[in-house]
Structures are given as C-alpha cells and as structure tokens.
Amino acid sequence: MTGARGQPPTPLGNMHFRLEIDGIAGGGAVEIILPEARIAPTRRVRYGPLIVRRGLTLARDWYEWWDAARRGRRPPRRSLRIVLLDSAGGDTAVWMYRDALPVAYHLSPLNALGNEAVLETLELSVGNFEAAPGGTNADRPKVRRRTAR
C-alpha cells in the first residue's frame, strides 16, 4: 500500500488514543502497553499482559475491579477497546481484547521533592484479541460504557 504520489505510507503516531473498558466510565489512560500474542506449539495463542496506566483520581473503578479479583468475588470479565486516533481525532486502528481480568494493581512512588502525577496501573490478563481498521463503525464489537455519576 502506498501513500500520496506513490510515497510509502506514513507510520501512525502513538500519542493519540482512547481506552474504552466495558462497564467502566471514561478511560483517561496515559499509557497502554499492548500484550504480545504468541502462537504456542499446540497452535493455541498465548497473550502477555495488557498494561494500562492513568493519572490517579478519586474514581475507584480500577481498584474495585482489581479488589474483587483478589478477594475471589468473581469479578466481571470485561472487554476493552483501544482506539488509535489520527491528528484530527478520527479512528485509525482499533484493538479489541475480550475476557480481561485484573492480575496486578500498582501506584507510582510518592516523592515529596517531585511534582509528577501519581499513576495508577492495572495489569490485565486477556483471553482473546482482534484488530480492526479504523474510520468506520462497521463490524466493530460494541463496548458498553457506564456514564459517570
């Protein structure tokens, strides 16, 4: 595939994206580390962890999801949708992960001499992965979002 006037396509930037988590209002993610997908000898696909980070706020949804998992209360498996955006805010690529469960929760260090935001990190195991082109809403699984109260 070539770009304008036969030029190679321009690589997509990694700084504009949106995270949607089924049942959780707003994304607010500042960093996402996508999992590695590896085909095992049995032809089964194994996924590494999906890691999402956001600035800590008064919202406790990520912590409560993780807390339910650690207490064995059968936390809901959730679907996630990660959307890469172009400079105008349009969807360019979409990655969907299903059956996500929290396996680790972490807060960044506190530093009395610093002035950086506290980051909340959620590490997730995922059970399935799909990629879709951006730009249209056709053939995309819907992720339900809860509105903020």
Can you tell me the distance from the alpha carbon of 67 to that of 73, in angstroms, rounded to the nearest whole number?
9
Can you tell me the distance from the alpha carbon of 59 to that of 66, in angstroms, rounded to the nearest whole number?
13
Q: What are 30-68's pLDDT values in tens digits?
A: 999 999 999 989 989 999 999 999 999 999 999 999 999
pLDDT band for 72, please (50, 70, 90 cuts).
Answer: confident
Could you tell me the two tokens for 32? 């996402």
22: pLDDT strictly greater than 50:
yes
The three-state DSSP-derived secondary structure of the chain is CCCHHHCCCCCCCCCCEEEEECCECCCCEEEEECCCEEECCCCCEEECCEEEEEECCCCCHHHHHHHHHHCCCCCCCEEEEEEEECCCCCEEEEEEEEEEEEEEEEECCCCCCCCCCCEEEEEEECCEEEEEECCCCCCCCCCCCCCCC
Contact 8, 23 (CB under 8 A): no
pTM above 0.75, yes or no: yes
Contact 36, 97 (CB under 8 A): no
Share of residues in the chain with pLDDT > 70 (%): 86
Can you tell me the distance from the alpha carbon of 87 to that of 12, in angstroms, rounded to the nearest whole number?
10
